[in-house]
Chains A and B, each alone.
Chain A
Amino acid sequence: MKVKVLSVPVWDQEQALAFYTEKLGFIKKVDLPLGEDRWLTVVSKEEQDGVQVLLEPAPKHFEPAKIYQQALFDAGIPYTQFDVESVQQEYDRLVGLGVAFSVPPTEMGTVNIAVFDDTCGNNIQLVEMR
């Protein structure tokens, strides 16, 4: 058994693709039409053979998913997290691109963290090991 895909629920796949590629710097990996939606994944530019992030349109079709996602977002809880070399540098870069952060770079024991809004319904946490 291998971990190849993790999914992130998004309101709008096209908007999510733009955010995850143009702002975060991911690369589109798989894009398959599935009826009115797509099997759409992106990967890290530095690890293109790594885990794929599936931008899945669950909140669009499944009400409980929408409610769960909204509750997490309102509580400020990250849906998932991505590792970075420097949280401060990524924070500066993303703020420069207009990304909104709910948690600025913050020391949390053995890691630094920051949390931003992915504009598709999720808080995403950046993590740097100290």
Chain B
Amino acid sequence: MTFYLREVQKIRHIVYGNQGQLEAVIGARRFLDGNLDGNINLDLLSENSYISKFHLLRLFKQYYGQTPRQYLTDRRIERSKICLRRGMGIAQTCYAVGFESPNSFSTLFKSRTGVSPTQFKKEQFSQRSMPPHSETSCIEFKT
């Protein structure tokens, strides 16, 4: 057995020993992934996970290193890039990935990626031409 595998086993035992907690946070993450376009809040996530919201918040941060809100925002931005690459409009993309206002979506998108959604779209089409079927659909991306 390599040094690395021994370390993996050691860390798994120390960090991931509580199977119940692990399954709860994995379930919560999958719920977020499956409802990226929905109006999700901590109460809903908590109800779905059968854990108090403050405990869930703490566990999620402990196991994923981010709060559910941070994770959700990252995933939504990631998916919005796919939508924009596929030629969807800004407003359509905004609602498709669960944001409520195109203006706040544009501001957030720019703060995360360094460019506005409009600029991002232009860059995509000027840099390359990729057939739509070669990327995961922004609509069918649910896991």
Contacts and interface: CB of A to CB of B under 8 A. Distances in A.
B54 interface: no
Nearest to A78: B4
A109 interface: yes
Contacts of A49: 123-124, 127
A108 B136 CA distance: 26
B39 interface: no
Interface string A85-112: 1000000000000000011001011100
Contact of A110 (B5, B22, B135): B22
B25 A110 contact: yes
A46 B135 contact: yes
Interface string B21-40: 01001100100000000000
Interface string A110-130: 100101000000010000011
A109 to B, nearest CB: 4
B82 to A, nearest CB: 9
Among B4, B25, B114, B134, residue most surrounded by chain A Cβ atoms (within 10 Å)? B4
B55 interface: no
Interface residues of A, number: 22
Nearest to A129: B29
Contacts of A103: 4-5, 8
A112 to B, nearest CB: 11
A15 interface: no
A32 interface: no
Nearest to A123: B4
A102 B2 contact: yes
B2 A76 contact: yes
Interface in A42-81: 45-46, 48-49, 74-78
A81 to B, nearest CB: 12
A51 to B, nearest CB: 13
A9 to B, nearest CB: 18
A115 B3 CA distance: 13
14 contacts: A45-B134, A48-B128, A49-B123, A75-B2, A75-B3, A76-B4, A76-B5, A77-B3, A103-B5, A103-B8, A108-B12, A110-B16, A110-B29, A110-B63
Given A75-B4, A76-B3, A110-B16, 12 more contacts: A48-B127, A49-B123, A74-B2, A76-B4, A85-B136, A103-B8, A108-B16, A109-B12, A110-B25, A110-B26, A110-B64, A123-B4
